[in-house]
A = this chain, B = another copy of it.
Amino acid sequence: MARLPRYLQYLERLPPDRHTVSSDEIAQATGVTAANVRRDLSQVGTAGTRGVGYEVDRLRAHLMRELGLTGDVPVVLVGAGNLGTALANYRGFVGRGFRIAGIYDVDPGKVSRRVGKLEIRHLSRLHEDAAERGYRIGIIATPAEAAQQVAELLAAAGVRSILNFAPTIVRLSDGAVEVRQVDLATELQILSYYLRSQPVHPAAG
């Protein structure tokens, strides 16, 4: 269920003195209906208390377990350009159970340079490193032309989930690999769709 991470995100911003939370509060904060929140939570086996709500700590722990965020999922990043570097430095991952455990590129000008604490390694080392470091999730931040090939390398290296930022669709025949496409231009196009019928709006407010 794609909403669980949103609930978790909300819980994590709650002040530490909040001990319980109601489905209605979660709903308000996340833009979901209260009935839907309760349904989602009961579906993943969370127990609230009638008349009281959900215990924040237990709910958070439960959601993290449910999402497989058991502390430390090693993530491998391919592509050390602008976007790759930004992702490697992205603060949002810290404390959410993920750790960038390796960065790869094929550009000799980039290989062996450092990004934060990690040294960029040549892509040819991906396979051997994977066995050792146990990469579970792969991020593709390469140019479009390289994405398909990188996806296949990642799959062959045992990665079972891929997040693709390259502006191209990658297809893997292996059904066991989950691929999520984050095409930034596509996101803009979706937004643009909503602009469609709106008049140009002068600066207001």
Nearest-CB distance from A153 to chain B (Å)? 9
Q: Which residues from chain B contact A157 at a C-beta distance below 8 Å?
A: 203, 205
Interface size class of A (residues with CB under 8 A): 35 or more
Q: Which residues from chain B contact A89 at a C-beta distance below 8 Å?
A: 82
**Interface flag for A192 (CB, 8 Å):** yes
Residues of A within 8 A of B (CB): 1-2, 4-6, 8-10, 13, 29-31, 66-69, 73, 75, 81-83, 85-87, 89-93, 96-98, 127, 130-131, 134, 136-137, 143-144, 155-158, 160-163, 167-169, 171, 176, 178, 180, 182-196, 198, 200-205
Nearest-CB distance from A175 to chain B (Å)? 12
Of the candidates B69, B196, B202, which one forms a contact with A158 in the assembled complex, judged by CB atoms under 8 Å apart? B202
Nearest-CB distance from A162 to chain B (Å)? 8
Is there an interface contact between A192 and B155, defined as CB atoms closer than 8 Å? no
Is there an interface contact between A191 and B163, defined as CB atoms closer than 8 Å? yes
